[in-house]
């Protein structure tokens, strides 16, 4: 039985999802939370695809059977183990287009006594569904501020009473050249969209959504075009925290990691901060003078952020001076400020 994307995703809240595409396809992007039981390996998929183009569907199908046939028992064992873990005897299955691969595996699982459903249109249709959903209108509030302002932490407190999506947590990156430090490997931009989309689809679109101000990319990950447009046209609450407070935060966050990571990040912005500043920062790092390193880095990042925010409509920017780095208190100030101009 085939399911629409909406029905498939609704059922996925209680039924495990099986992606039968190749490991390479799965790594590029998949439905969040799904398990990979590939019908064909990366190499086998290439061979079958080439044969399909050169000899036609029948030859390709037979070759696919030659590859997958000996693995059928293993496929079933893996599927049963996953279904048992979820305490259900059901599975949701998808491939690229909802065609032969998912239909074949669904047939196999059903034959083995596991009730299985196929995603109509496959992963391709799911991707279309996710990307189209980003066009939904929502009242977006962007929290802006210079590097080291603690915006992510402030948003965590705001999330206690408001809808918030932590873009940097999804991207596994804090945005700057230093943003990779202490983070897991970044997902692909495609999979970033999938993870974001899962959260996005569960939002209440009649309520505000808070996001941190971001550029088009967060490390190697690119924001969906529609979401980036929303961020650039949204109301911005800009928190202006003194540079000394921000330097203290950066020292706390980064000095606990190996200096070689910081040195690598400095190398990446060498041309932008200038050769002399790079030399001074590099020497300061060798002496564990993190204050000097942070001060030089912030001079560049403050200038870059100012350039970006000044390209926005001035009437969309609402600034607040916050004297100390206290995220919980800052969150209250931000919310009170937002509610005051919202009522005005």
Question: How far is residue 56's CA from residue 34's CA, in Å, rounded to a whole number?
Answer: 31
Determine the 3-state secondary structure of 184 from DSSP: coil
Question: How far is residue 168's CA from residue 37's CA, in Å, rounded to a whole number?
Answer: 30
Question: How far is residue 69's CA from residue 203's CA, in Å, rounded to a whole number?
Answer: 43
- Residue 194 and residue 188 in contact, taking contact as beta carbons nearer than 8 Å: no
Catalytic (active-site) positions: 95
**Chain-centre distance of CA 5, in angstroms?**
20
Per the DSSP assignment, residues forming a β-bridge with 321 are 240
Count the helix, strand and coil residues of the chain and give each as a percent rounded to the nearest 5: 55, 15, 30
Neighbours of 8 (CB within 10 A): 25
Question: How far is residue 158's CA from residue 335's CA, in Å, rounded to a whole number?
Answer: 7
């Amino acid at each position: 039985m085939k399911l629409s994307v909406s029905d498939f995703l609704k059922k996925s809240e209680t039924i495990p999802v099986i992606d039968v595409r190749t490991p390479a396809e799965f790594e590029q992007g998949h439905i969040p939370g799904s398990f990979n039981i590939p019908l064909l390996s990366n190499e086998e998929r290439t061979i079958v695809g080439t044969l399909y183009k050169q000899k036609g569907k029948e030859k390709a199908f037979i070759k696919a059977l030659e590859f997958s046939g000996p693995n059928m028992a293993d496929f079933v064992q893996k599927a049963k183990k996953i279904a048992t873990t979820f305490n259900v005897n059901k599975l949701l299955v998808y491939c690229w287009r909802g065609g032969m691969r998912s239909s074949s595996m669904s047939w196999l699982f059903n034959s083995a006594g596991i009730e299985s459903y196929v995603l109509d249109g496959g992963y391709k249709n799911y991707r279309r569904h996710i990307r189209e959903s980003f066009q939904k209108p929502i009242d977006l509030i962007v929290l802006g501020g210079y590097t080291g302002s603690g915006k992510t932490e402030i948003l965590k407190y705001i999330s206690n009473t408001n809808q918030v999506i932590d873009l940097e947590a999804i991207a596994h990156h804090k945005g700057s050249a230093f943003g990779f430090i202490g983070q897991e490997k970044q997902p692909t931009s495609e999979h970033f969209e999938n993870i974001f989309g899962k959260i996005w689809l569960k939002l209440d679109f009649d309520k505000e959504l808070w996001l941190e101000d971001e550029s088009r990319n967060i490390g190697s990950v690119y924001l969906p075009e529609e979401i980036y447009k929303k961020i650039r046209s949204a109301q911005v609450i800009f928190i202006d925290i003194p540079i000394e407070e921000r330097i203290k935060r950066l020292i706390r966050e980064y000095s606990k990691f190996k200096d070689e990571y910081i040195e690598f990040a400095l190398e990446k912005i060498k041309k932008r901060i200038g050769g002399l500043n790079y030399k001074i920062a590099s020497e300061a790092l060798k002496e564990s003078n993190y204050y000097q390193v942070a001060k030089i880095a912030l001079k560049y990042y403050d200038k870059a952020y100012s350039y970006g925010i000044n390209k926005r409509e001035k009437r969309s920017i609402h600034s607040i001076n916050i004297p100390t780095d206290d995220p919980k208190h800052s969150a209250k100030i931000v919310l009170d400020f937002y509610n005051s101009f919202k009522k005005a």
